[in-house]
Chain A
């Protein structure tokens, strides 16, 4: 007798708050990395110290972090909202 996934019990409101906190935390992290890179670009500009290197690194690194932020948001909202389909069809994965 295989266990069916438990019918989703009503979750405590804390669950969504903590999930949001996770998202906000990740966003703050990505924002601080991008802010750090911006700061280093600024410092290299005012001290006339290889500004091109800072721009070069930023051109590669910032899109990576923005992409990660986008992907995380995509998964976060996609999964969170994607559970409310009218036809709840458990996919093959859920059937052990």
Chain B
């Protein structure tokens, strides 16, 4: 069984936010109106988190792209009362929109705050012109359910279909989330962490590798490579 993971090289990341936009387009992440944005309800599966140290003129700002960590010990799935979020056998923390009752326990439980709630039916409130650009492979979310990054799981399903049709197994590079695919500085890598020959498995062993909030024991599968000094 594959164990899908991601490596993000912070030395190469320019914080251009191409990954944010690509994710939004690929996954039908709803655009919320300006009034809702001001009320802090914007949904952003992939987000660039920034941290600024020091004061002017000795400022230093770090940018970290933050998708869902797809933890191997997820604090969010533990607390879901109805099985609407669960860790699937290939290591992706899945979100079942049809089952979710909107209690937001998983939202409160995630230490990385990667989960977002549809306070209104944001997708249906988007102008028709924007909705025409929906990706037909990804279901849109109704109001009152939680959503988050799924490592573009629909692309995995499609890749498996193609591989099955061609009577072969999945090759590295067949399945790549849209953020990884779109990064202009090629700062993101994606693959099977359980395959010792894969690039992500090799990079995960790098001396520059770290994970966010490892001490919480969540076993995140997004590995960052620290910037070179």
Residues of A within 8 A of B (CB): 47, 49
Contact = CB atoms under 8 A, between A and B. Distances in A.
Interface of B: 83, 86
- Leading 3 A-B pairs by shortest Cβ distance: A47-B83, A49-B83, A49-B86
B33 to A, nearest CB: 39
B80 to A, nearest CB: 10
Nearest to B86: A49
Contacts of A47: 83
Nearest to A47: B83
Contacts of B86: 49
A49 B84 CA distance: 13
Contacts of B83: 47, 49
3 contacts: A47-B83, A49-B83, A49-B86
A49 to B, nearest CB: 7
A47 B84 CA distance: 13
A76 to B, nearest CB: 34
B218 to A, nearest CB: 17
A40 B226 CA distance: 45
B90 to A, nearest CB: 16
Contacts of A49: 83, 86
A49 B83 CA distance: 9
A28 B28 CA distance: 46
A47 B96 CA distance: 15
A85 B86 CA distance: 62
A6 B203 CA distance: 90
B7 to A, nearest CB: 30
A13 B177 CA distance: 72
Nearest to A43: B83
B54 to A, nearest CB: 46
A47 B83 CA distance: 10
A79 to B, nearest CB: 39
Nearest to B77: A49
A37 B83 CA distance: 16
A7 to B, nearest CB: 55
A10 B83 CA distance: 56
A47 B86 CA distance: 11
B86 to A, nearest CB: 8
A26 to B, nearest CB: 26
B88 to A, nearest CB: 12
